[in-house]
Structure 1
Amino acid sequence: MAKQFMNFNGQIVPSDQEVLSVNNRGFRYGDGLFESMRYMNGAIKFPELHIDRVLKGMKVLKLDNSLQIDSWFLREKVEELARRNKTGPDARVKLTIFRDSEGLYTPSSNKIAYVLESQLLSESQYTLNQKGLIIDVFDELTKPVNILANLKTCNSLVYVLAGVYKNQHALDEVMILNQHGFLCESISSNVFVVYDRKLYTPALNEGCIGGVMRQVIMRLAKENGIELIEAQVNPDILNEADEVFITNATKGIQWVMGYNNKRYFNEVGKFLSEKLNQL
């Protein structure tokens, strides 16, 4: 495989080069955020939605936008890195932004630094999984509902431990609950449930990530006459639902086949996946 590169603060360097020290605040305190995106057919998908979430997150974390991060910045840097990595027209892209300053818990400044990475993908469209996922509910640790809950921050221990649980139980994915015991999201995706001909997804005030693909799927559902309800979702609905699927920006829609002894259909998820690829 050809040598791969990353963009560290505007400089293209080998992806295996050490660029962070142990004093890095992202490493020490999880003091940063990240954004995962899909580069498809030579362009970032939904760049305005991605950069809007990045800027909202930076505002919440009180990070200075001294590098003028915007949609133009995103397109330019991603295209530059794709050319250098010779990824072709399709790749997974990750932008990580962290507070670049000295200090312990209290930072000496709010200036930022960033790392942009890309990974080659072979698919030129969103591909619905042929085999449905087998899931369970992770209840050993719940997700707090607060001002940080909708952001993709570098503090990700809930997801890490959920991933450990997934591996220990030989699952494809697990559902994460919020602090009140209601359905929140999965390890890396938002959750949608089809029940009684309606499409449900946890509301943002339930603590789920404000996913870009979540926004896109909600829009597609409304445009195609599917009744969509953002709500407080009891995990017991997984025992009664007709369908369950999860969404994220890099994979699109992934459908769930089973939970415990329950087996699901895959009609609405397949329909919306087709509509997504038509965009």
Structure 2
Amino acid sequence: MSRQFINFNGDIVPAEQQVLTVANRGFKYGDGLFESMRLLKGELKFAELHSERIRKGLKLLKMDSWSSVDTWFLREKAEELVRRNKTGPDARIRLTAFRDGEGLYSPSANNMAYVLEATKVTESTYTLNEKGLIIDVFEELTKPVNILSNLKTCNSLTFVLAGIFKNQNSLDEVMVLNDRGFLCEAMSCNVFVVYDRKLYTPALSEGCIAGVMRQVVIKLAKENGIELVEAQISPDILNEADEVFLTNAARGIQWVMGYNGKRYFNEISRFLNEKLNAL
């Protein structure tokens, strides 16, 4: 494998090079956010939606220069790094932005710094998983609902513990509840449930990530005559649903096969995945 590089504040440096110190606010306080994206056939997919979400998040976190992370910035920096890493036309892109200043809880400055990573993937389309996922509900820790809930912040301990639960129980994914006991999201994805011929997904007011692929799938469903409801959803629906699938920007749509003794179909997820690749 050829040597890999990252983009650190505009400079292309070897991936193994130390670029952060113990004073880094992302390390000390989780003071930042991140965004996962997908390059397909040389194109950064849904770049406009990603840049809009990143800028909203940076503005909410009160970081300076939030407006600089526009569509041109994302495309230019991603394509530059992909060329340097020789990943080919298909890659997973991750941008991590953090506050670059000293201070304790109160920062001395609100400058934005960033790290961009690019990792090669083998698929040149959004590929629906052949084998359905096996899931369970993670109940040890819930996700609080507040103004930060819709962001992918660097404070991800809830999902780290959910990941440990997943590994300990040999699962493919886990569902995370909000602090009211309702479905919020999966460990790394948004959640969609087919029940009584309608498609349901947790509303943003339930604290789920405002995922770009969530937004795309909602639009695709409505355009293709699928009744969609954004709502407060009890986890009990998993025992009655006809279908459950998960979405994120890196993988697209992934269908769930089983929860406890329940087994699901993948008709709607397969249909929407075809529409997604046709965009």
TM-score by length of 1: 0.99
1:32 counterpart residue number:
32
The separation in 2 between residues aligned to 1:113 and 1:67, in whole angstroms, is 13
Q: What is the Cα deviation at residue 127 of structure 1?
A: 0.4
CA contact (8 A) 1:38 1:249 kept: yes
Q: 1:253 to 1:66 in 2, by over 3 A?
A: closer
1:9 counterpart residue number:
9
The separation in 2 between residues aligned to 1:149 and 1:65, in whole angstroms, is 22
The residue type paired with residue 221 of structure 2 is: A
CA contact (8 A) 1:24 1:100 kept: yes
1:116 aligns with 2:116: yes
Q: What is the Cα deviation at residue 43 of structure 1?
A: 1.1
2:134 counterpart residue number:
134
The residue type paired with residue 96 of structure 2 is: T
The separation in 2 between residues aligned to 1:79 and 1:152, in whole angstroms, is 23
Q: What is the Cα deviation at residue 166 of structure 1?
A: 0.3
The residue type paired with residue 208 of structure 2 is: C
Give unpaired runs (5+ residues) of structure 1. none
Q: What is the Cα deviation at residue 67 of structure 1?
A: 7.9
Q: What is the Cα deviation at residue 84 of structure 1?
A: 0.4
2:168 counterpart residue number:
168
The separation in 1 between residues aligned to 2:268 and 2:69, in whole angstroms, is 37
The residue type paired with residue 118 of structure 2 is: S
CA displacement, residues 8-65 of structure 1 (integer Å, 9 cap, x when unaligned): 0000000111100011000000000000000111010000000000000001100001
The separation in 2 between residues aligned to 1:201 and 1:68, in whole angstroms, is 32
Alignment of 1:143-222 (within 5 A): 143-222=143-222
1:88 aligns with 2:70: no
CA displacement, residues 71-123 of structure 1 (integer Å, 9 cap, x when unaligned): 11111101100110111100000000000000000000100110000000010
The separation in 1 between residues aligned to 2:12 and 2:64, in whole angstroms, is 23
The separation in 1 between residues aligned to 2:68 and 2:212, in whole angstroms, is 21
Task: Provide the identity percentage.
Answer: 72
The separation in 1 between residues aligned to 2:147 and 2:267, in whole angstroms, is 35
1:125 counterpart residue number:
125
CA contact (8 A) 1:126 1:277 kept: yes
1:62 aligns with 2:51: no
Q: What is the Cα deviation at residue 148 of structure 1?
A: 0.3
SS in 2 for 1:6: strand
Q: What is the Cα deviation at residue 68 of structure 1?
A: 1.9
Corresponding residue pairs, total: 279
Q: What is the Cα deviation at residue 69 of structure 1?
A: 1.8
1:240 aligns with 2:230: no
2:255 counterpart residue number:
255
CA contact (8 A) 1:66 1:111 kept: no
1:224 aligns with 2:210: no
The separation in 1 between residues aligned to 2:226 and 2:167, in whole angstroms, is 35
The residue type paired with residue 222 of structure 2 is: K
TM-score by length of 2: 0.99
Q: What is the Cα deviation at residue 66 of structure 1?
A: 6.6
Alignment of 1:42-57 (within 5 A): 42-57=42-57
SS in 2 for 1:215: helix
| RMSD between aligned residues | 0.7
